[in-house]
């Protein structure tokens, strides 16, 4: 898709101006940080509303996980890359030399700043239309892959579908000092171990064990 044009050219320029460029600019210009702040909040609101309406059977946890997947750096920078936003960035020579146009964080920030600028320029309905074309199509793919579910939930569903008993997580080992323990956890079903995982907390280790169990069964 093409990037919708803004009526206000100054807003468009600001949306793609990295703070590193300010010292090299020959005239007074603002960076995209304020627009990024605004756009971040707007994206979160629009996606939250979309998910709430689109998936009425999802609980709060699933909605939160799905939203997090959609607004993370990898997701937003990927869309910014598809829209070739990197080519529009105004960067310092240093950022340019360090391949700032390909930097995921800078791309994510530029996407958020552009959304903030689009909101100020044309209103919320245009933002919704833009996200409907650029971001929303990727949501159903995540839902189909159940990528928004944590490994423990996915393993539980898989085991239940196979008519087994519920997974049991056991701490197999604790290592390290009290302030920096590392837990090794195993996940068992009907007495058989399906996977192990390590983590700085029991919860992290359990999720790691469930992920290992899923990989074993795939």
Q: Which residues are catalytic?
A: 40, 112
Rounded to an integer, what distance in angstroms lies between the CA atom of residue 158 and that of residue 81? 36
Burial of 166: CB neighbours in 10 Å, binned 0-12, 13-18, 19+: exposed
Q: Which helix (H) or strand (E) holds 183?
A: strand 182-189
Burial of 210: CB neighbours in 10 Å, binned 0-12, 13-18, 19+: buried
Q: Which helix (H) or strand (E) holds 168?
A: strand 168-175
Rounded to an integer, what distance in angstroms lies between the CA atom of residue 198 and that of residue 177? 15
Rounded to an integer, what distance in angstroms lies between the CA atom of residue 66 and that of residue 131? 15
Strand order in the sheet with 192-199: 168-175, 182-189, 192-199
Task: Specify the 3-state DSSP secondary structure of 210.
Answer: helix
């Amino acid at each position: 898709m093409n990037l919708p044009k803004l009526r206000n050219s100054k807003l468009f320029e600001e949306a793609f101006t990295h703070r590193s460029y300010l010292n090299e600019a020959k005239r007074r210009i603002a960076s995209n940080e304020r627009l990024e702040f605004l756009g971040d909040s707007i994206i979160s609101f629009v996606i939250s509303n979309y998910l709430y309406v689109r998936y009425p059977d999802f609980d709060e946890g699933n909605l939160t996980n799905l939203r997090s997947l959609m607004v993370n750096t990898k997701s937003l920078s990927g869309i910014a890359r598809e829209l070739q936003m990197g080519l529009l960035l105004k960067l310092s020579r240093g950022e340019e030399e360090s391949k700032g146009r390909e930097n995921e964080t800078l791309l994510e920030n530029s996407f958020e700043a552009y959304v903030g600028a689009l909101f100020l320029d044309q209103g919320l309905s245009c933002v919704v239309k833009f996200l409907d074309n650029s971001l929303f199509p990727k949501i159903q793919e995540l839902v189909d892959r159940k990528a928004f579910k944590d490994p423990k939930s996915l393993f539980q569903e898989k085991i239940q579908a196979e008519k087994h008993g519920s997974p049991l997580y056991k701490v197999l080992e604790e290592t390290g000092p009290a302030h920096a323990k590392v837990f090794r956890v195993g996940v068992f079903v009907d007495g058989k171990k399906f996977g192990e995982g390590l983590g700085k907390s029991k919860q992290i280790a359990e999720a790691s064990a469930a992920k290992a169990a899923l990989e074993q069964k795939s």
